[in-house]
Structure 1
Amino acid sequence: MRPADLAREHGLSSQAVRNYEADGFLPPADRTPSGYRIYTGTHAAALRAYLALIRGYGHQTAGRVMLAIHDDHLDDALLVIDRGHGRLLRDRETLDSVRRAAGDLTAEPAPDPGARTIGELAHRLHVTPATLRNWEEAGILTPSRDAAGYRVYRAEDVRDAELAHLLRRGGYPLEHIATVVEQIRTAGGTEELSRALAGWQARVTAQGLAMLDASARLGDYLALRRRT
């Protein structure tokens, strides 16, 4: 097959296919005596897997998976995929936490022995302390201060930070996130909150299905690699 033959299935340009090969996302192609690339069914399967991984996990993760596979580091590729599933599970748990928070807003909060510093919370979310300070400036987070003036994040603050992290990955601006978090804090705007939760759930479900499709496509590609 030619680059155009692979590209046509996905609405891509031939140059995009050549770029994917040059970047290591497709296995190297053989060449004709005149220098033209020759692609096979294995390359077509690799392209399907790579594009499915993008839909399920994003460009960066998809690239890391394919590079690891082509370097014969299968376990490294699987570890990257496992981490992607871990993030999705965390998103689901955050949604559940928000739903519980919306129902428990009037309850007296229990003491939180697991208060966190800004560094600990940043590490938990894989963001920088500067990001948390930006969220505080936007009104998303309202940590208390200890006697020395350092920020202290309680259970409610961690919940708000998890929600902010989820929404930022979904592309929401800080102003919108601040509004939703305030709705949760005040138990107001429940209709808007319900719509937001339904939208987040739909996106999480869609990503889960995309991950399943990516796993199937990647499995097909790996099976072909083993036979060739």
Structure 2
Amino acid sequence: MYRPVDLGRAHGLTAQAVRNYEQAGVIPPAARTASGYRVYTEDHVGALSAYVALIPGYGYRAAGEIMRSVLRGDLPTALAVIDTAHVQLQRDRETLDGVASAAVVLASSAPAAPGPDGPVSVGVLAHRLGVTPATLRKWERAGILAPARSRTARTYSSGDVRDAELAHLLRRGGYLLDRIAAVIEQVHAAGGPGPLAASIDQWRERITARGRAMLTGSARLADYLSFLDLVAGDASTSSDG
């Protein structure tokens, strides 16, 4: 039997944090003594261990959804949340690969100048890239390009030209439009090719750390599920006896 402080100590949590987690439904409800004090068991120890381990990889929201689903006996929903998180991690890896490719291109070659007369038109840019104006408008709808627009025409600045050239390269490499849009967003957020290249290693380390945290969280959850199976099996044996 454990008190809230006993449960919390193993994870560097306060007794109040343990009570809050119980109220949030991420660990089972506690039994009460005659005087009203909470009493926790190995069930709570396993649940709290799983929840705390899930947070670094899946985040508070997903970890909470996973544990609440498990505790109400809805394992398929819990696994679906886990699957969704792993799909997103893979998408992040694909975006990182695209950004890394973009950094190499941006570092090795300067973008074509828009021309002596200022920004270029959609027709000029389309001709330069060997695509149709309709393709450029499709990229715009996907969030890849954001040219200046008047009532009669679109115009593309030197930055727009660079984005279009980068999009064209990634498109030839088989990247989907939503992935390319994410790459362009990262290029803009980094402030150019130099800072972008410097941030890639850190980004890759964060993704790797998150993947390892997911493995650890999944392992603790698997331990807890095995505990629940064991308890259920013991209860069934006692009932049969």
1:92 aligns with 93
Deviation track 1:23-48 (CA, whole Å, cap 9, x = no partner) reads 10001122222222111112111111
User: How far apart, CA to CA, are the structure 1 residues paired with 2:78 and 2:51?
Assistant: 12
Q: What amino acid maps onto 1:37 in structure 2?
A: R
Give secondary structure in 1 for the equivalent of 2:81: helix
1:46 aligns with 2:47: yes
Q: 2:224 aligns with which of 217, 221, 225?
A: 221
> Does residue 62 in structure 1 map to residue 63 in structure 2?
yes
- What letter corresponds to residue 63 of structure 2 in structure 1? A
Separation (CA, whole Å) in 1 of partners of 2:219 and 2:99? 32
Does 2:159 match 1:162?
A: no
State TM-score, norm by structure 1.
Answer: 0.71
Amino acid at match of 1:205: T
1:186 maps to what in 2? none
1:160–1:181: 8 Å Cα contact kept in structure 2? no
Give CA-to-partner distance per residue, 1:67-95, whole Å, 9 cap, x none.
Answer: 11112111111111111111111111111
Gaps of 5+ in 1: 122-140, 168-176, 184-188
CA separation of 1:89 and 1:159: change in aligned 2, threshold 3 A? closer
Runs of 4+ in 1 over 6 A off after TM superposition: 145-150
Indicate the structure (1 or 2) with the bigger Cα radius of gyration.
2
Residue 210 of structure 2 aligns with which residue? 207
Check whether the contact 1:98–1:159 (CA below 8 A) recurs between aligned residues.
Answer: no
Amino acid across the alignment from 1:23 = A
Structure 2 vs 1, CA of residues 149 and 51 (structure 1 numbering), >3 Å: closer, same or farther?
farther
Tell me if structure 2 keeps the 8 A contact 1:94–1:159.
Answer: yes
Aligned pairs (5 A) from 1:134-153 = 142-144=145-147
Amino acid of the residue matched to residue 85 of structure 1?
H
Instruction: String of CA shifts for 1:130-174, please: whole Å, max 9, x gaps.
Output: xxxxxxxxxxx6424788879xx9772855641477x6xxxxxxx
Amino acid at match of 1:182: G
For 1:39 and 1:149, locate their aligned partners in 2 and report how far apart those are by CA, in whole Å: 69
Provide closer, same or farther for how the CA distance between residues 80 and 179 of structure 1 changes in structure 2, counting only shifts above 3 A: closer
1:180 aligns with 190
Question: What CA distance in whole angstroms lies between the structure 2 residues aligned with 1:160 and 1:225?
Answer: 44
Q: Give how far 1:180 is off.
A: 2.1
User: Normalising by the residue count of structure 2, what TM-score does the alignment of the two structures yield?
Assistant: 0.68
Number of corresponding residues: 191
Aligned CA RMSD, in angstroms, stands at 3.3
Which segments of 5 or more consecutive residues in structure 2 lack a partner in the other structure? 112-127, 155-162, 168-176, 232-241
The 1:75/1:149 distance shift into structure 2, 3 A limit, reads farther
* Aligned residue type for 1:217: R
